[in-house]
Structure 1
Amino acid sequence: MSTPPVLTTVQDGVGTITLNRPEARNALSMDMRPALAAAIAQMRDDAQVHTVILTGAGGAFCSGGDISSMQDPSRTGLTFRNGMRQLHQWFPDLVNLEKPVIAAVDGPAFGAGLSLALAADFVLATRRAKFCAVFGRIGLVPDLGAMHLLPRIVGHQKAKELVFTARTVDAAEAQQLGIVYDIVEDAAALTEAAQTLAQRFGQASTAAIGMAKTIMNQSFESDALTIAELESYAQSMCRGSAYHLDAVQRFKAKEPLRFDWDKLK
């Protein structure tokens, strides 16, 4: 039996998706793509999952697309286009997953791997993590949402520089650019840090976080009035939730709230 290209686990409310082609530095192969789509759908639909960790096996996050498949002479321009369109059928599900998503990056996050990291809400990285919009080195343009996400995170001018030069960015610079949330020493510390951060959301309102995320993900494309209307809708939904009503009762009774980030430190 062949090794699954993507592994999933769920434990204590934390779902983990592991890209599992360490021999190819977790390059995004053709069979990995539907497996990753299915894993994202699994985490989306599992009501027990409050936070998702996306990581890679064997000391790499994702080295990008599988270049060996790019050399197939039978694949035409239309074939490649259809393949890209299939990617964009599931990638928005990751970007807009209404749960906190943590990318735990060890080693390279290149090309499509960079896009996968950018899709997360928080990126944790080891000191040997590397980020690169590598496409320009082989005469391609960034894909898998990179040209949408990268300028929103690092700014327009810096995004152009990273794309035009296709240079490698280490973890420290990636943190300065706003790509990386925190840096840890090694793979063992990365696993622990990702689990610790994920568990801190365990008592939060997944619904409230999810709706806030969905609205903020539209904030660059929407005007203030549209965002205000979305806020009004989301707030009315949250106000009637059991979570909010419980929080109000706890506040009135001077009892600890279920979720208090400052007290979780």
Structure 2
Amino acid sequence: MPEFETLKFARSGPVISIVLARPEAANGMNATLTRELAEVATLCDDDTAKVVTLTGEGRFFCAGGDLKAVAAADSPGAYVNGMAEDLHRAMSTFARMDAVLITAVNGVAAGAGFPLAVSGDLVLAAESASFTMAYTKAGLSPDGGSSYLLPRLIGLRKTQELMITNRVLTSAEAAQWGLVTTVVPDAELAAKLDELAARTASGARNSNAAVKELLLTAYASSFEDQVAREARLISECAESVDGKEGVAAFLGKRRPDFA
């Protein structure tokens, strides 16, 4: 297995796990972490992975950009641009890969850690987790896909409030707003993540990949283009091994055995 300086990467069958591992820096993003995240994302985009889990080590999920590293750079603008490009490449790969991304927000998700946390197809959050943009507090502007993801998840007005006032959301509030799938007690987060990953991995890979593609294009397509895409994808699923197994299992009133 490949080794990384700022990430922990492991694979067990169809499930890949990624852990942000800079706990001494609140899992803050520096150039190494964003570059490695882009690299590890490409490893997840293969023909066998069904689920990718992403969480943080220690008390933080991710505190966003490491401002100490930014301040120390010869050109802060160039340094931040490089980090943003790597982060965006990673998030684009996660969004477009066939595998389901499950994020487990174990603590504070701030700055770019916020959109990374809520970019999961499924998002678990510990009760003690919190979410804040924090960009304008540091005289910066949002990145990490914030301006794409948040208006689609919670609408313009709530996005404006988060970005301009830097309001801090508890995990319960984040769930009420539609940013989080499920809130769980802190002590149960790891077990719930493993359980959800295993359950999702037992499903049909092609079906989940089709769901991801359809939802990714939903806001940018005309009705006619979207239903044409639906027709193409359901026909492809019907012809697949998993599709045939799923139909046979339904008709046979048994649990499907997806490869």
Alignment TM class, shorter chain as reference: over 0.9
- The C-alpha deviation readout for 1:42-77, integer Å capped at 9, x for no partner, is 122261x21111000012100000101221352164
Q: Contact 2:95/2:212 (CA < 8 Å) preserved in 1?
A: no
In terms of mean alpha carbon deviation, does 224-233 or 86-95 score higher?
Answer: 86-95
C-alpha displacement of 1:120: 0.5
Q: Would you say 1:72 and 2:83 are equivalent positions?
A: no
In terms of mean alpha carbon deviation, does 71-80 or 118-127 score higher?
Answer: 71-80
How many Å separate the matches in 1 of 2:198 and 2:181? 16
How many Å separate the matches in 2 of 1:172 and 1:250? 38
| TM-score in terms of structure 1 length | 0.90
Residue 21 of structure 1 corresponds to 22
How many Å separate the matches in 2 of 1:3 and 1:250? 42
- The C-alpha deviation readout for 1:142-168, integer Å capped at 9, x for no partner, is 101011001111111111111110121
Residue 89 of structure 1 corresponds to 89
Q: Which amino acid aligns with 1:13?
A: P
* Structure 1 residues 31 and 224: alpha-carbon distance in aligned structure 2, compared to 1, 3 A threshold: same
Count of matched residue pairs: 256
- The C-alpha deviation readout for 1:159-193, integer Å capped at 9, x for no partner, is 1111110121111101100111111111x410001
Q: Would you say 1:192 and 2:198 are equivalent positions?
A: no
How many Å separate the matches in 2 of 1:252 and 1:86? 46
Residue 175 of structure 2 corresponds to 175
Q: Which amino acid aligns with 1:132?
A: T
C-alpha displacement of 1:255: 2.9
Q: Contact 2:37/2:86 (CA < 8 Å) preserved in 1?
A: no
How many Å separate the matches in 2 of 1:6 and 1:73? 22
C-alpha displacement of 1:85: 3.0
Q: Any residues of structure 2 matched to 1:101-116 within 5 Å, and which?
A: 101-116=101-116
Taking only aligned residues, the RMSD between alpha carbons, in angstroms, comes to 1.9
* Structure 1 residues 195 and 168: alpha-carbon distance in aligned structure 2, compared to 1, 3 A threshold: same
Q: Contact 2:124/2:193 (CA < 8 Å) preserved in 1?
A: yes
| TM-score in terms of structure 2 length | 0.92
- The C-alpha deviation readout for 1:79-116, integer Å capped at 9, x for no partner, is 54354334323321122232211111111100110011
Q: Which amino acid aligns with 2:15?
A: V
How many Å separate the matches in 2 of 1:175 and 1:134? 19
Q: Contact 1:16/1:53 (CA < 8 Å) preserved in 2?
A: yes
* Structure 1 residues 119 and 177: alpha-carbon distance in aligned structure 2, compared to 1, 3 A threshold: same
Q: Contact 1:154/1:178 (CA < 8 Å) preserved in 2?
A: yes
- Runs of 5+ unmatched residues, structure 1: 260-265
Q: Which amino acid aligns with 1:33?
A: T
Residue 143 of structure 1 corresponds to 143
Residue 6 of structure 1 corresponds to 7
- Runs of 5+ unmatched residues, structure 2: none
Q: Which amino acid aligns with 2:236?
A: M
Identity %: 31
Residue 206 of structure 1 corresponds to 205
Q: Contact 2:4/2:36 (CA < 8 Å) preserved in 1?
A: no
